[in-house]
Chains A and B, each alone.
Chain A
Amino acid sequence: QSVLTQPPSASGTPGQRVTISCSGSTSNIGSNTVNWYQQLPGTAPKLLIYSNNQRPSGVPDRFSGSKSGTSASLAISGLQSEDEADYYCAAWDDSLNGPVFGGGSKLTVL
């Protein structure tokens, strides 16, 4: 059971916009910034969004993040086949004194 809650799956067709939600509590998302990681099949996670809505250099602006209260969302616009991956949200948790992850959402491009 992950501390942050994500839907196990999401899907969309090429060109569509999809969103993935991440729900937490006051000790994690409610108090700290949210990050998103993309894990392509058979590879290590890659930082996709940090500090709620910041993109590292090289990440396309098709990817965007937002946060409100104790929830956060990742949006992917102009969906492409290469976006098919697992996506994880994460945030520092003040109660656990460490970072916590969501269970991951598997994105399928139909």
Chain B
Amino acid sequence: QVQLQESGPGLVKPSQTLSLTCTVSGGSISSGSYFWSWIRQPAGKGLEWIGRISTSGSTNYNPSLKSRVTISVDTSKNQFSLKLSSVTAADTAVYYCARNVGATYIYYMDVWGKGTTVTVSS
């Protein structure tokens, strides 16, 4: 049973870079044709997709965040990571990582991490 676990600082200062890692356990991140995504949820609000990466390193990003986002993968560590630069209070949210099935027409997130809360504050 594949499980995902987010990790990283819970507090980031404004204008700095938010860095999170998602560790995949119970299976290899390279097995199967999956994408791996980051999604966030501000308190009391809905879900926002940040971006995704394949194990070959192909990425797609939300156009609204694209200029500030970098997602990378380290197959040797069974991890993928998120970097979000120039953060503001608006980036305060619970950040989830998720495994994605499919590419476009059929595309869903079948395994989610428990989420990690990131607060942007000085």
Residue in B104, B108, B110, B115 whose CB lies within 8 Å of A44: B115
Interface size class of chain B, counting residues whose CB lies under 8 Å from the partner chain: 20 to 34
CB-CB under 8 A for A32 and B104, given A45-B47, A45-B96, A101-B49: yes
Within 8 A of B (CB), among A35-77: 35, 37, 43-47, 50-51, 56
Interface majority SS on B: helix, strand, loop or mixed? strand
CB-CB under 8 A for A97 and B60, given A33-B105, A45-B112: yes
User: When the two chains form their complex, are residues A94 and B96 in contact, meaning their CB atoms are under 8 A apart?
Assistant: no
User: When the two chains form their complex, are residues B105 and A88 in contact, meaning their CB atoms are under 8 A apart?
Assistant: no
Complex contacts, A88 vs chain B, CB 8 Å: 46-47
Question: Known pairs A32-B105, A37-B109, A50-B101. 19 more at Cβ < 8 A?
Answer: A2-B46, A32-B104, A32-B106, A35-B108, A44-B115, A45-B47, A45-B96, A46-B112, A47-B108, A50-B106, A51-B108, A90-B47, A90-B108, A92-B105, A98-B62, A99-B49, A101-B47, A104-B46, A104-B47
CB-CB under 8 A for A31 and B112, given A45-B96, A98-B49: no
* Chain A residue nearest to B114 in the complex (CB): A44
Residue in B60, B104, B109 whose CB lies within 8 Å of A47: B109
B48 on the A face (CB < 8 A): yes
Interface size class of chain A, counting residues whose CB lies under 8 Å from the partner chain: 20 to 34
* Chain A residue nearest to B48 in the complex (CB): A101
A103 on the B face (CB < 8 A): yes
Complex contacts, A50 vs chain B, CB 8 Å: 101, 106, 108, 110
* Least CB distance, B62 to chain A, in whole angstroms: 6
* Least CB distance, B77 to chain A, in whole angstroms: 22
